[in-house]
Amino acid sequence: MADLTVQVVDQQVVVQPFGSDALVPLVAAANQALTDAEAAAAAASASVGAVKQNITAFLGADTGIVEGAWYAEYFIPVATTFTSFKGILISGTGTFELRVLVNDVDVYGPRTISSTLNSATISLAVAANDRVSFQVNNITGTPILAEIQLLGLPT
């Protein structure tokens, strides 16, 4: 049997000279192991950046929340798809409607915020460096303090 040279070229196992049928399954198994390792490395690399993105804003004023825009996050650090919305009135009475704005454009809502937790599964894509704010309308009673939260993952 001739001397064989085994090397990895462009992530493929190359055996030269290649004449032995006994090596075919070994080379195929080695190539599959390389393919599997590459896929695992890519998946691990992707999961490193998969840190939950969270916007939590407290809307409040001593005399009551007022209608208008409330800025939550001036620049989203990475492109994110928000998948969870939560809002609750922590202090005061009544309700208000809340809309989510991205770069001053209405993209989600209205959601009625009251002393009962309002939660929803959403799909809201926001690009990196976009500004997120909340629009408050249709206030009843005297809501003093509310917590609004968006959760998601980078896209």
How many Cβ atoms sit within 10 Å of the Cβ of residue 85?
Answer: 21
By the 8 A CB rule, do 127 and 76 touch? yes
**Could you tell me the pTM of the whole model?**
0.67
pLDDT digits (tens, 9 = 90+) for 46-92: 555 567 888 888 999 889 999 999 988 778 888 999 999 999 999 99
| Cα angle 77-82-83, degrees, rounded to a multiple of 5 | 155
Looking at the structure, give the CATH architecture of the domain made up of residues 53-154: Sandwich (2.60)
Q: Quick check: 103 pLDDT over 80?
A: yes
Q: Where are the domains of the chain?
A: 5-48, 53-154
